[in-house]
């Protein structure tokens, strides 16, 4: 179940007058707006508002032609039919946010302090629709009334990644003001803050605020843009009827979401545990008739020597080798020809072997492709971000290419990924794995992506991916990454990842069993959804 879409549907029904029935005995919203207009004029007379605070207030109405018009304070009238989001029920009215609020006020430009007279609410203090007021910092101000928060105030993030996000003040355990990256609105009597807050979470709101947000690197939404927002306004009585119905339905959706998230976490944990059992040799039974992995490793090493002699691969002068000594313990022989005792992470079945990644794969990267060689069409050129998408979805819509001629030159002189190779992300979101398919034709960015060339055919590619996804390899990846700001996997680091090698026949049995179990788990998740 798409609970986000369900939430939006509930909110959409609420603001369109379709969540609760209209009552013909309700005072129409037009009368409510007239009363609010009169109240704001009185507030100007009383000095609570300035004339400039109401000079942009307008009246939206339907003309004799059934089209929407807007009357401005100077008496001019403009047809706004093309701007109206949707039709409203009888008794409802469109208005602007600025017409039902007093002052749309920016926050206080003070620094957060460890002591002060007031709590200073910041964007960062609002997490998942909640505020832990005990952790909100302090500040002091000579203008407390201007910035003091009241119950039913609504504050907005006016800049950054959370621009447009709103928060309804429902309780105030401490005297509090708000920081400069927030905007506060305070609604006029007769307007339900809870109803308006529901509107601020609706698609209708987000569509408007997104259109009005400015700035490419750092989008922002200012007070002027907020006051111009179209608000679908029901009668005061209907506002009161809508809120509890919407609240109850949204609570049910929240419960469903929580249960889905719990199930998703449980399924992910189960999959991780199954992978752990698989790479320990505890998922399927061993077959004594299987060719031992030790024989497989000997064959790989002989094949590697032959490929070196033929000049197809280069000898790694810094290569390390894991071997089992006469005492049945594992040792690491380093490039300096010294041997070191290696403590294995767990015990393996009889016919399995510990090895290094370089024992079963030729770890490589690509020939550098310069930025000026990128094309808008041709042979796909993948960076880490494309490999991540491929690892998740199996497909990707990429926007970078190289010419077929360039690809052919690279294929002929340097080699390209082949079916059964594993492409692994080496920067950013590291350790994501994609198995190259039979008909795949692409090239990839150097350093950003590593190629684990399955040239020895010593490992089932699907088993290799499962192993690389398991905690055995992932723990090594994330404990041995380099890069101050961006996690990175280097070729030399990847070569020394500690791996397990089951017999080839058992690798296939493990893969078949895991895929069957995972399919069952995914089916459970889909049925619940």
Per-residue pLDDT tens for 457-502?
889 999 999 999 999 999 888 886 655 455 789 998 999 899 999 9
Is the same domain home to 367 and 401? Answer: yes
Share of the chain above pLDDT 90, in %: 74
Is the same domain home to 473 and 504? Answer: yes
- In this prediction, residue 216 carries a pLDDT of 47
Is the same domain home to 172 and 316? Answer: no
pLDDT in tens, 27-45: 999 999 999 999 999 999 9
* Domain total of the chain: 3
Pick the last residue of a domain from 168, 185, 202.
185
Give the mean pLDDT of the chain.
91
Q: Classify residue 527: in a domain, yes or no.
A: no
Is the same domain home to 22 and 159? Answer: no
Is the same domain home to 151 and 218? Answer: no
pLDDT of 61 above 60: yes
Specify the pTM. 0.62
Structure confidence at residue 334 as a pLDDT band (50, 70, 90): low
Q: Which long-range contacts (CB under 8 A, 24 or more apart) does 241-250 make?
A: 241/20, 242/14, 242/19, 242/20, 242/195, 242/198, 243/192, 243/194, 243/195, 243/198, 245/14, 245/19, 245/20, 246/10, 246/11, 246/14, 246/19, 246/198, 247/194, 249/10, 250/7, 250/10
Q: Classify residue 344: in a domain, yes or no.
A: yes
Is the same domain home to 312 and 437? Answer: yes
Q: Classify residue 529: in a domain, yes or no.
A: no
Pick the last residue of a domain from 140, 163, 185.
185
Q: Classify residue 259: in a domain, yes or no.
A: no
Q: At what angle do helices 236-279 and 504-528 cross, to 10 degrees?
A: 170
Is the same domain home to 468 and 496? Answer: yes
Is the same domain home to 140 and 29? Answer: no
Is the same domain home to 31 and 170? Answer: no
Is the same domain home to 51 and 113? Answer: no
* Residue 527 or residue 232, greater confidence: 232
Is the same domain home to 96 and 109? Answer: no
Q: Taking the CA of residue 316 as centre, how many other CA atoms within 13 Å lie in the half-sphere pointing to its CB?
A: 18
Q: Classify residue 326: in a domain, yes or no.
A: yes
Is the same domain home to 87 and 200? Answer: yes
- In this prediction, residue 172 carries a pLDDT of 93
- In this prediction, residue 484 carries a pLDDT of 47
CATH number of the domain within which 357 lies: 3.90.220.20
Pick the last residue of a domain from 249, 265, 284.
249
pLDDT in tens, 180-223: 999 999 999 999 999 999 999 999 999 998 887 665 455 678 89
Rounded to an integer, the average pLDDT of 249-253 is 92
Rounded to an integer, the average pLDDT of 333-345 is 61
| pLDDT-wise least confident of 312-321, 483-492, 502-511 | 483-492
Q: Classify residue 283: in a domain, yes or no.
A: no
Tell me which residue range forms the domain holding 141.
Answer: 104-185
Nearest to 199 by CA among 158, 176, 229: 229
Q: Classify residue 271: in a domain, yes or no.
A: no
Q: Classify residue 367: in a domain, yes or no.
A: yes
**Residue 166: both structure tokens together:** 């709103």
pLDDT in tens, 97-154: 999 999 899 999 999 999 999 999 999 999 888 999 999 999 999 888 899 999 999 9
- In this prediction, residue 3 carries a pLDDT of 86
């Amino acid at each position: 179940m798409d609970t986000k879409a369900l939430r939006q549907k509930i909110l959409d029904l609420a603001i369109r007058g379709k969540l609760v029935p209209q009552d013909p005995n309700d005072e129409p919203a037009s009368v409510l707006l007239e009363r609010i207009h009169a109240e704001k004029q009185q507030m100007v007379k009383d000095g609570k508002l300035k004339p400039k605070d109401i000079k942009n207030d307008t009246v939206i109405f339907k003309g004799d032609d059934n089209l929407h018009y807007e009357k401005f304070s100077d008496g001019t009238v403009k047809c706004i039919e093309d701007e109206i989001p949707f039709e409203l029920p009888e008794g409802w009215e469109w208005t602007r946010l600025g017409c039902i609020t007093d002052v749309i006020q920016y926050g206080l430009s003070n620094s957060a302090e460890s002591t002060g007279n007031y709590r200073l609410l910041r964007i960062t203090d609002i997490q998942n629709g909640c505020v832990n007021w005990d952790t909100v910092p302090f500040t002091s101000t000579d203008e407390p009334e201007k910035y003091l928060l009241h119950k039913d105030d609504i504050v907005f993030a006016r800049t950054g990644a959370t621009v447009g996000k709103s928060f309804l003040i429902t309780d105030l355990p401490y005297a509090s003001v708000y920081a400069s990256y927030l905007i506060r609105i305070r609604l006029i009597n007769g307007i339900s803050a809870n109803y308006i807050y529901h509107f601020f979470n609706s698609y209708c709101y987000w569509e408007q605020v997104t259109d009005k947000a400015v700035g490419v690197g750092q989008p922002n939404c200012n007070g002027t843009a907020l006051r111009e927002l179209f608000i679908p306004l029901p009668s005061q009585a209907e506002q009161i009827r809508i809120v509890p119905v919407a609240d109850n339905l949204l609570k049910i959706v929240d419960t469903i979401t929580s249960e889905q998230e719990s199930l998703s976490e449980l399924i992910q944990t189960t999959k991780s545990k199954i992978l752990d059992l698989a790479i320990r040799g505890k998922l399927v039974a061993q077959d004594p008739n299987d060719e031992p992995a030790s024989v497989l490793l000997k064959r790989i090493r002989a094949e590697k020597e032959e490929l070196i002699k033929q000049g197809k691969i280069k000898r790694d002068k810094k290569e390390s080798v894991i071997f089992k000594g006469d005492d049945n313990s594992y040792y690491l022989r380093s490039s300096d020809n010294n041997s070191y005792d290696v403590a294995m992470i767990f015990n393996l079945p009889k016919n399995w072997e510990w090895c290094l990644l370089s024992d079963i794969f030729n770890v490589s990267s690509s020939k550098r492709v310069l930025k000026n060689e990128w094309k808008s069409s041709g042979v796909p050129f993948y960076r880490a971000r494309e490999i991540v998408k491929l690892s998740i979805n199996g497909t990707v819509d990429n926007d970078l290419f190289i010419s077929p001629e360039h690809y052919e030159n690279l294929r002929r002189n340097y080699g390209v990924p082949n079916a059964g190779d594993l492409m692994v992300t080496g920067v950013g979101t590291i350790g994501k794995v994609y198995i190259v398919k039979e008909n795949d034709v692409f090239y990839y960015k150097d350093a950003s992506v590593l190629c684990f060339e399955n040239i020895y055919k010593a490992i089932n590619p699907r088993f290799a991916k499962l192993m690389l996804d398991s905690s055995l390899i992932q723990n090594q990846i994330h404990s041995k990454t380099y890069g101050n700001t961006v996690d990175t996997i280097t070729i030399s680091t990847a070569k020394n990842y500690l791996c397990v090698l089951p017999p080839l026949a058992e690798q296939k049995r493990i893969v078949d069993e895991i895929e069957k179990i995972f399919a069952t788990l995914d089916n459970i998740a889909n049925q619940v959804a």
